[in-house]
Amino acid sequence: MGYLVSLLVLALMVFALVDIIRRDDSQVKYMPKFVWLLLVILLPFVGSVLWFGIGREYPEGGIRLQRPARDRTTYPPQPTAPAVPIDTRTTEQQLADLEREIEEERLRAEIAKRKRERGDSETEA
């Protein structure tokens, strides 16, 4: 049984060494290739596990697993957030609208003031 474990560790070490040597420098992470080689040679099991775990770049694609389609009749769809309105006006148009609103508010305040003044003068007479 001990021979089998030793053979598996040796095979893992050889596979890791070959992988390190064949890898481009840009695909090696955290340490230079030479340091990875020393680590795998000096600590075969730990070095090999570390190499395959964190030392090399894996392709972006990886293995794609197909998810089964979700049945929408069983699960009610999640409510979506309301769409945020997008203001397509230019800055000049926005400033002009703001100025109009300010002028309108000023006129309303003036009308309210005149109504109060007129109401006070009518109550006096």
pLDDT digits (tens, 9 = 90+) for 75-107: 556 677 777 888 888 899 999 999 999 999 999
**Number of domains observed in the structure of the chain:** 2
pLDDT value of position 113: 93
In a domain, 63, yes or no: no
In a domain, 83, yes or no: no
Helices within the chain (DSSP H only): 2-22, 33-42, 44-50, 91-124
Q: Would the pLDDT of 23 be above 70?
A: yes
Which of 53, 48, 49, 59 has its CA nearest to residue 24? 59
pLDDT digits (tens, 9 = 90+) for 41-77: 888 888 888 888 887 777 666 556 666 665 555 555 6
Question: CA torsion sign, 16 to 18 to 20 to 23?
Answer: negative
In a domain, 45, yes or no: yes
Euclidean distance between CA atoms 22 and 19, whole angstroms: 5
Buried b (16+ CB within 10 A) or exposed e, 23-49: beeeebeeeeeeebbebbeeebeebbe
Give 5: exposed, middle or buried? Use CB within 10 Å, 0-12, 13-18, 19+.
exposed
Which whole number is the average pLDDT over 25-39?
Answer: 83
In a domain, 77, yes or no: no
Euclidean distance between CA atoms 72 and 110, whole angstroms: 59
Of the residues 55, 77, 97, the one at which a domain ends: 55
Q: Would the pLDDT of 114 be above 90?
A: yes
In a domain, 60, yes or no: no
Question: pTM for the whole thing?
Answer: 0.45
In a domain, 21, yes or no: yes
In a domain, 62, yes or no: no
Of the residues 38, 55, 72, the one at which a domain ends: 55
In a domain, 80, yes or no: no
Give 80: exposed, middle or buried? Use CB within 10 Å, 0-12, 13-18, 19+.
exposed
Domain residues for the domain of 97 are 88-125
